[in-house]
Amino acid sequence: MAPTSTPETPFGRALTAMVTPFTPDGSLDLEGAQRLAAYLVDAGNDGLVVNGTTGESPTTSDAEKAALVRAVLEAVGDRAQVIAGVGTNDTAHTVELAREAERIGAHGLLVVTPYYNKPPQEGLFRHFTAAADATGLPVMLYDIPGRAGVAIATETMVRLAEHPRIVANKDAKGDLAAAAWAIARTDLAWYSGDDMLNLPLLSIGAAGFVSVVGHLVTPELRMMLDAFLAGSTDKAAEIHQRLLPVFTGIFRTQGVITTKAALALQGLPAGPLRLPLVEATEAEIAQLTQDLAAGGVHL
C-alpha cells in the first residue's frame, strides 16, 4: 500500500497540487521539481498531485508528464502519495496516460471531467469508468465545472462510486449542498479542491484537501485540519479566517501565475509559465505580496 493510505483517506489528508517548474528557457526543470516536491512533503503534505491544472498539464507533453511523475516519485515516493493527473477530454488519450502513470509507479490517478466538449452524464460515466478500468490504481475524480463546462451530477457520482477503484473526488464545484448529498450517499473520500472551502467541506464530511495555497501555507493548513479533527472547531475556524487573504490573493488571477510568482520570491523552484499563461505583472506581484502579508506570509 502506498504511503499514508487508508480506506477513509486513500490519498492522505493534506495534499498540494504542485506547479511544474521550468528552466529559464521554458524546458522542464526536473531537478527543481524534485527539490520542490521534497520541500512540500517536509512542510507536511501527505501527497502531491502532479500534472494537474496547477502543473500546467495542458502545455506539457506526454513524455514530460511521464518524466515529471518519475522524478517526483524518486524524490518523495517513499514518504508521500504521488497522484498523477491523467485527465483529458479524449478518453483514449486519458487511458494511455493512466497506463503510463501506472507503469512508472504512481500511487494513484486524478481524472478531471472532460473539458470543452461538454459530454452528457452518460458520457462522463463511461469516460471515468474507462479510465478506472485501464489500471489497478485508485482513482480520484475531479469535478470542476467552472473549467470543464459540465458538472458531475450527484446521481452520476453515486454510480461511479460503485466502481472498486474510484475511491475519491476532488470537489471544485462550489456547491456545498451537492457535496453533502454525495458524501452521504457514497463511500467516496471527499477532498476539497477549492481552498476557500477547505474547512466548510471538512465540516460536512470531507477527508481532506488538494490545495494550491499549500505551496505557501501547508503548516497552517495542517494546524487547521488537526484542530478540526481534534474537535477544536473554534481554533480551526480561527486559522481558516486568518488565511482568507492568502486564499483571495492566490486566486485574484490564474492560480499558477500567482503561485509561481510567490515561489520565485521565496527562492523556490518555479520558473516561467508556458503560453497561454503569462507571468505576473509588477502590479499583480505587489498586490499578491500585500495579500499574503495580510495572511501572515511574508515573502
Cα distances (Å, whole numbers) of residue 253 to 148, 248, 287:
18, 10, 11
Active-site residue flag, 170: yes
Cell of 236: 480551526
Among 142, 173, 191, 260, the one annotated catalytic: 142
| 8 Å CB contact between 17 and 224 | no
Of 170, 173, 191, 260, which is the active-site residue? 170
How far apart CA 225 and CA 220 sit, in angstroms, is 9
Write out the three cell numbers for 271.
520558473
Secondary structure (DSSP) of 50-87: ESSTTTTGGGS-HHHHHHHHHHHHHHHTTTSEEEEE--
Q: Using the structure block, give the residue that is written with the C-alpha cell 489500471.
A: 135
Q: What angle do CA 117, 119, 123 make, to 5 degrees?
A: 135
Task: List active site positions.
Answer: 142, 170
